[in-house]
Amino acid sequence: MNSLHSSHLQPNGYWVVNLFVLLCYCTGALTEYCDEFINDRGLPEDWPCDWNNGVIPYAFNFYSQSPKRLIGLVKKGHEHLEKLSCLKFKEYNPVTLANSPNVTYLYYTYSGVLENCCLDFYTNYIGRRLVLLTPMCTMGLEVAHVTLHGMGLWHRRLKAFSDAQAKAVLFPIDCNNIVDKVHGYEKGRIRIL
């Protein structure tokens, strides 16, 4: 009886162990592939793997004052970026994202700080990245700038973003019209500060 049980259980046991080993192997391989992708493309160190398809999740703080203004400003910023890059911004319900701890997303809210629209501040590498819009943020270009800060771009005070890193972030994947878009970026027709 025992041998009958063991002969039936053993293969199942091996199957579970093999599946576990396979899952670990796949996870390790995916992480390695992601690290290579980030290094090869020259993306920021804190670039999350789930942005490799160029789709950036985001949500609004609907509890802020004047949420309509916030939404209008951010949409203008996203339109500016989508026009000049291969990025797409996808809005989610903030509660859904808050319950998805492994998803890295931009979370737009206001800051009361009276500085220009250039706060390179967020709290998390993984999960919710705060993008703070100061009262000085009024134009799509400015919101695009602070969005790129939220995506990990950085620059010296009163300097522009590094061209190479900005291009890596703006074009993490190929898309329609990529040649024209890169050309447009290089020619400076549409600039990011």
User: Does 34 interact with Zn ion (rule: CB under 5 A)?
Assistant: no
Which residue in 181, 163, 183 sits closest to 173, CA to CA?
181
User: Does 118 interact with Zn ion (rule: CB under 5 A)?
Assistant: yes
User: What's the rounded Cα separation, in Å, for the pair 25 and 29?
Assistant: 6
DSSP string for 10-74: HHHHHHHHHHHHHHHHHHHHHHHHHHHHHHHHT--TT--GGGTTSEEEEEE-TTSSSHHHHHHHH
Q: What is the largest CA-CA distance in the chain?
A: 80
CB closer to Zn ion, 70 vs 153? 153
Radius of gyration (C-alpha) of the chain in whole angstroms: 22
User: Quick check: helix, strand or coil at residue 7?
Assistant: helix
Using CB atoms, what's the residue nearest to Zn ion? 118
- Please classify residue 105 by burial: count the beta carbons closer than 10 Å to its beta carbon, then call 0-12 exposed, 13-18 middle and 19+ buried: buried
CB closer to Zn ion, 52 vs 116? 116
The count of chain residues that interact with Zn ion, using the rule CB under 5 A, is 1
CB of 151 to Zn ion, least distance (A): 12
DSSP conformation class of 127:
S
User: What's the rounded Cα separation, in Å, for the pair 6 and 12?
Assistant: 10
CB of 54 to Zn ion, least distance (A): 22
CB of 67 to Zn ion, least distance (A): 24
CB of 50 to Zn ion, least distance (A): 24
Q: Which segment (17-25, 58-66, 113-121, 135-143) binds Zn ion by CB under 5 A?
A: 113-121
Q: Which segment (57-65, 105-113, 117-125, 136-144) binds Zn ion by CB under 5 A?
A: 117-125
User: Does 136 interact with Zn ion (rule: CB under 5 A)?
Assistant: no
Q: Which segment (13-21, 50-58, 116-124, 134-142) binds Zn ion by CB under 5 A?
A: 116-124
CB of 51 to Zn ion, least distance (A): 20
Binding site for Zn ion (CB under 5 A): 118
